[in-house]
Amino acid sequence: MILRKIWEEKDASDIREKLLINPEEAETIALGYVSINPGESTKTGFHEDEEEIYVILKGRAILTIGDEESKVVGGDVAYVPRNNVHRIKCISEEKLEYLYFANWPK
């Protein structure tokens, strides 16, 4: 069993990205937490053999996957298929926080 906290009270405002379950600990899945300040965005990502699911916890953002852009808000879930350039930009006045689940074949 693996059991972790996303953050501790003392460091909740300082975390930008935290790998919660890494690929070496599980069979084909990883889990991470990301926090993005207003107006900022993630680096552009691309994965040939990795799918991702984003679970938006709070904030608002523009999620770009390939040529498509969608607004996402807290409570939304988004699927990012493999072989697609993707990034997410915070457009709210509060931080954007989300979890990502990633899987790939071993």
pTM of the model: 0.89
* Tens of pLDDT, residue by residue, the chain (106 residues): 888 888 765 555 666 888 899 888 888 899 999 999 999 999 999 988 899 999 999 999 999 999 999 999 999 999 999 999 999 999 999 999 999 999 977 6
What are the sequence ranges of the domains in the chain?
Answer: 15-103
pLDDT number for residue 10: 58
Contact 96, 60 (CB under 8 A): yes
Q: How far is CA 13 from the centre of its chain?
A: 17
pLDDT number for residue 67: 95
Cα 7 from Cα 34, distance rounded (Å): 11
Among residues 43, 36, 31, the alpha carbon closest in space to that of 16 is found at: 36
pLDDT number for residue 73: 98
pLDDT number for residue 19: 86
pLDDT number for residue 5: 84
Cα 63 from Cα 66, distance rounded (Å): 10
CATH number, span 15-103: 2.60.120.10
Concatenated DSSP letters for 46-99? Answer: --SS-EEEEEEEESEEEEEETTEEEEEETT-EEEE-SS--EEEEE-SSS-EEEE
pLDDT number for residue 91: 98
Sign of the dihedral defined by the CA atoms of residues 76, 80, 84, 87, in that order: positive
